[in-house]
Structure 1
Amino acid sequence: MASPSKYKYGDIIYELNRPKSLNAFGGNLLIEVVTALRELNEHPDTVFTVITGEGRFFSSGADVKATAGKKEVEHFSPAAKKIDFMDSISTAIELLRSMIDHKKVLVLALNGPAVGGGAAWFPGVADIVLAADTGYLQVPFSALGLVPEFGSATNFYHSLGAHRANDFLMFGRKLTVQELEQWGLINRIFPTQGFHDKVVEFLEEQLSVNDGKSMMEAKRLQNLPLRRDRMLAVYDAAEALAERFVEDAPKQRFAEKNRLLLGG
């Protein structure tokens, strides 16, 4: 276990910790996860870094309530609009880089369902994925006029193959953890009741059998040739996402859905 941090965390406890908002990506959550990953990189006794959540969801993705109240900015050109958007996602890009470059064995512990960015960003770059038996992954990117975010198209293609990845990312198919275990994305499934204790027990068992430095070296050697492609995929996806916002595609999709809901 890590020693007490020198930083004061509000939205994480070395874990996702916004259960009332279903661990949505609002507040300081993203910057605090980046800070924790950076800190744990240098922790001398840490072998496993575990990203997990509190409550019934791992993460519900973007914090829609937090962004809904923001005043719309007028840009004098599409280029200015794109640059402004790219600036707004710089923390997310650094989060992905931090996970890709993380020195310790990065364990994703899906304590519950993950939607949107919560489903797309983490599983493909984690070294080990553990899941509660009631969990699932789902992304509504196409329905919202978005694109697979921050390298997830490449990561899921490598993990699941093209056709399964397309079903998930293009069509928004909900994938249960049982399916994902069969397809090789998830390593182990544990009962939702007592999930976090089971994760700790499992990882402690691995430490009792295996040398920590050897496991970290195995991770480094496996990921070394993938690093450039993963980072390029992050930036390619960020650029494509920015263009969708320049075109106002998400705004138009939301307006269209609202009209349908209101019967207009």
Structure 2
Amino acid sequence: MTVSNSYQTIKVHKEGKVARIKLNRPQSLNALDVGLMTELLQVLKEIKDDSSISMLVLTGEGRGFSSGGDIKSMLASSTEDQFSEIMDMISELVMTLYTLPKVVISGVHGAAAGLGFSLTLASDYIICEEDSKLAMNFIGIALIPDGGSHFLLQEKLGTGKAKRLIWNGKVMDGQEALMKGLVDEVVPSGKLSEGIERYINTCLSKPVQAMLKTKEIYAELNKERLEKALQLEKEGQRRMRRTADHQEGIKAFIEKRKPSFKGE
């Protein structure tokens, strides 16, 4: 068993063939700032090269999985160069997770919103508690989904349903997300750990290398499409950040009120 305490914003634990990463900014509901994304990307690269690991579990500390991108830190990164660096980091993080040569399980309790939801969609198997709150809620601040979500949602739902989900931005509980095909398994509240262990044991009783070869083939088939989606999201997000509606959305978020959008 290996436990690493050298990180500030994540917890890492390795035992046998399973690595576990826990997002660890509970005071901000594990909002994804540059520090957390940097550490997460570093660990994913280490796990990628660790031939003794065949499974990865991604969860969140505290009250939820992740509330999404850290809006306060994003606002502080207001220059074009800073914005571009953050978007490039998001792209590398999602691509690394999506193509990781391990079976990746996302375990969700509480909130998985925005970019946090995108990370779960880049995994292979999503387990969530029935009272989880999942939302692709970028529309609430007049932005578009990033983290490859246009591609990832299209893969799960098809184009029409993906568009409606993005435009709606509604919060879904675990059962609704399961019915839509967005998650793979729902467990009762407080039973996430048991569900994760059950799926790990199921996988480890199978020829995991054969499972991973199938994942590799699909990753190769889809990699160019995901790269294109990430590029288009970066360009689109840059344009949306300049709109009056986005400025109103951010102002309303800070003031904790409903935004008044004008389509501008």
TM-score by length of 2: 0.84
- Report how far residue 231 of structure 1 moved: 1.2
Structure with more contact order per residue of length (Cα contacts < 8 Å, sep ≥ 6): 1
1:18 equivalenced with 2:25 (yes/no)? yes
Deviation at 1:185, TM superposition (A): 2.4
The residue that corresponds to 2:58 in the other structure is 51
Which protein has the larger Cα radius of gyration, Structure 1 or Structure 2? 1
How far is 1:249 from its partner? 4.6
Whole-Å Cα distance in 2 between the matches of residues 243 and 82 of structure 1?
11
**Structure 2 unmatched ranges of 5 or more:** 12-20
Asked whether the 8 Å contact 1:159–1:185 carries over to 2, the reply is yes
What is aligned with 1:179? 176
Alignment of 1:170-249 (within 5 A): 170-208=167-205, 210-247=206-243, 249=245
Letter in 1 for 2:214: A
In 1, Cα distance between the equivalents of 2:6 and 2:147? 28
Distance 1:247 1:221, change over 3 A: same
Structure 1's 255 and 21: CA in aligned 2 closer, same or farther, altered over 3 A? closer
- The AA in structure 2 aligned to 1:8 is S
> CA contact under 8 A between 1:154 and 1:233: conserved in structure 2?
yes
Of the candidates 88, 92, 99, which is equivalent to residue 90 of structure 2?
Answer: 92
Q: Please state how far the C-alpha of 1:255 moved relative to its aligned partner.
A: 3.5
1:112 to 101, 106, 110: 110
CA distance in 2, matches of 1:214, 1:223: 14
Higher strand share: 2
CA RMSD for the aligned pairs?
A: 2.7
C-alpha distance 258-179 of structure 1, shift in aligned 2 (>3 A) = closer
Paired amino acid for 2:228 = L
* Secondary structure at the counterpart of residue 246 of structure 2: helix
Select between 154-163 and 52-61 the one with higher mean Cα deviation. 154-163
2:83 is matched by which residue type in structure 1?
A: F
1:67 deviates by 4.6
Query: How far apart in 1 are the matches of 2:257 and 2:103?
Result: 45
Gaps of 5+ in 1: 74-80
Q: Which whole-Å CA distance do the structure 1 matches of 2:135 and 2:171 have between them?
A: 5
What is the identity percentage for the equivalent residue pairs of Structure 1 and Structure 2?
23
